Structure 1
Amino acid sequence: MSVQAHADAFLARARTAPGSPALVVLDGFVPPGQTAPYLLAYLYSETPELPDSRSVQGASERFVLHAICHSVGGSAGAARAVSQRARGVLLDAVLTVAGRRCFPVRSEGSNPVERDESTGVAVFDQVDLYRLESVPG
């Protein structure tokens, strides 16, 4: 199983969010000069030790990709709008990863919008947590 294949599927799906302009989706890094609005995703994986997700040989087969998604905008409303655009295409989506059977993307929670002025410019950030799970397909 490929961590990157799961990450690519998640990011590609986020980029399909309807609306204009196209939703900017960033993978763990905000390039210099990037302006809001955008979605910044931090992705990490795990292979949980669950008895019901082991093969007959005892190998761990379930793969979990967690996504911490920062919806960034110039106001609280703009941050919520980015969050809603992403949520609309991610929540319950069944993604395609070669050789794997993916379960629907699930929400693991979210935080309220927070204001950040550490760069000298106020930006607003809403954090949403998602989970993508798969087993061999």
Structure 2
Amino acid sequence: MKKFIHAIGEVKFITGLYFMAAIMLGSIGSYFMHGLREFSFITIWQLLGMSAVFGGLHFIQFSKLQPLIKITVHSILSYLTVILFSLFCNWGFTESTTVFWQFTVIFLGIYALMFFAFSLYYKNEEVYLNKKLDEYKQKNK
């Protein structure tokens, strides 16, 4: 039960991070591309749904697959998630070939930055936890 509650907490945390990123990137993109200054209530729920899917996809990073396979599978599924949400929610990323290719380039850049940020986060968390473990071992000798 303890592991289940911990996993739910991680999903909530990761989903929140993706939701925050989606709101920020969506706000910036919609303002500069269409001059929109606000989201509709439905769009916010759509972004939350997409963030929940990303939260689930994020756990591919914790699998025991080889690193290259993890990155490839995660990036392809993430790209397909955004494309499908764009099609079903009429976000406009697939309205023309030019917009589609611009979106693809921008997606790859943002994906690379987010992947780098998460890898730094997990590396720093690992160092911190190993330090705490060493302190605990020294204390209880």
Q: Does the pair score TM above 0.5?
A: no
Which of the two has greater helix per residue?
A: 2
The structure with the largest alpha-carbon Rg is 2
TM-score scaled to structure 1, two decimals? 0.37
Q: Which has the bigger relative contact order, CA under 8 A and spacing at least 6? A: 1
